[in-house]
Structure 1
Amino acid sequence: MAIRSKSKLHNVKDVPQYSRSPIEKCGKGVTKVEDRTVVNPGDFNYAGTDNGLVNMTASIPMSLQRMQFHLKLFNYYTALSKDSNEDKESFLHLPSVTNTKASDVDVGCGYFRQRKYLERRKKYTDEGKKVQESESAPVASIDMAIRNFRAKYDQRRSLRDFYNSPKIINKKRHVEIQQHRYRHHLCRRERLELKHSENKLSSKKPLILFIGDRGTGTGSRIKGFRKYGGKWKQNINGEAVNVCITNECNTSQTCIFCFSPLTNPRIPGKKEEVTNKPRDALSALAIALVGLSSVMFGAAPPPFYNLSQITAEHYTTIKSDFCTRRDDLAATL
């Protein structure tokens, strides 16, 4: 798995400013963050999305004021040789998070009712009891597995008639139509919540959504509900707004306030002392920080990448102009 994950990571290198296409206010689509840039950052709203397991996605808004705040923290802790406890609690709270759970999609699309209907048919009908009996035969050896396979093969017509009855086919068609409608409605509601989540974000400005490049998995069921993965969510959002795929290397393992590696201690027998951190929200905010930094400066903060590819001094140089333009920044907020 480590080799497979490493092979999917793309190399980080400084992309010339003139070779990146600017993001238009009326633009749409899904592109890589390394290929895009923004000419006027104050013309857009920004948000980051992190893909998880229980929470299928967690989205959080990012404003230019918060971007400047994190860049100042980066300059502050980069210059120090040890941690400092300077009072910065005034801006440490996280904005409102928009969570999309797989269970919501499971219920909204109709898959939950379809599965319950099949379970009732297997439990209360004679045809369903025969199907359940043939499917739940125990397997203790290879010979028993072969016998079960042959028995199911002989009963293939009854299994086919049970799962492909006209009523089941109509329910499957209804679920497919409902799924298409619900997914578009879900993505639209998420975009509206991101625009109206903070007073600093204007609902009239177009949204740029930064999404991690790892994606979500598909297939298995986790904690009792189906797991909906794939790229359908970013493709649907790409039909309405600009979606930039961002490298999420170390975004869930780096603190966005002190830019040091995160440690999550677990003390056995002392659950009351363990603090539950909003990991998905922090990862989504880190993805927004990395994506916005990439489209503005052409590079992400060094803690999220290998320091041999981009040094802290070089990153401080290319973003120093943004941190010192306080008057221009206040005019855009």
Structure 2
Amino acid sequence: MSSFFSSKGICTIGIELTNVQDRPIKVIKRNKKKKNLYVFSSKDTIDGVVEIRATKKRKKLEHIGIELKLCGVLESSLDSSANIDLVSSVKKLATAGTLSDRKWQFSFPEFNMPQESYEGINTSIRYYVKVTIKRNYAVNIKQEKEFCVMNLDTKIPKSVPIKMEVGIEDFLHIDFTFPKSAYHLNDVILGRINYYLAKINLKHMQIAIIKREIFRASEETFTEKQTMCTFEVMDGAPVKGESIPVRFFLENLNITPTYRKIAKRFSVRYYLTLFLIDEREKRYFKQNEIIFYRKSIPKIDEK
């Protein structure tokens, strides 16, 4: 998976990650295009090769140094000035001189990458290695090679039973219960909905998983909501004393682990939400936060 880049006839830059034959692959969609990224975990060693080929037709190109940087960056389309380097490490490939055909092997041993990659609505966490050819009186020449970071959670997050009630005095009393609030990404959510009183003519009941992506810029906080999935629990009026089991699978949903206050600016949180719709289309709802964590890394992840 080499990545070659041509800079207007000046040179070509290739970056290749090595020792990746057995690595999982993450398929991401960005700008309507698919990219296959090798998956690494925190403290993995990142090995590779950089190759620069100077264009024969040009005169000698002077530069003031060539460097390679490995970094993880929190980026937001809402406020590019608020982008933050989460982790970084720089290696000098060449001192000032004349550009020529060169090849370098590189290694970032046991590089600490505690935050997972993320591709969201307005915010992303990206990891890449970047080559920069620095020049005195012209724009620097850059090329990057992106990869993905996924980390297994060694500790299961604290989980508590969920019980939520929807009630209107003398008209409606419903609760729904789930035995835990923390789930791994391939888990099954099991629960039960109990009807104690339902004098309101209900038409539908749905359970949804809602994602909230929260980004804090310099002076403002932006929140984006996205419905990840919706399950129809009931179509029609319930009967007093009725109890309906709930069971749905997370494996094929496009969800990520929960992110909390990354760099004190960014969070991704998920909520289990119950919607009731009556015959007048009036909606009642209750929600409770649930926590997602990663228990395994798939070989090819196309979520």
TM class by smaller structure: under 0.3
Higher relative contact order (CA 8 A, sep 6+): 1
Structure having the higher strand fraction is 2
TM-score by length of 2: 0.20
| Larger relative helix fraction | 1
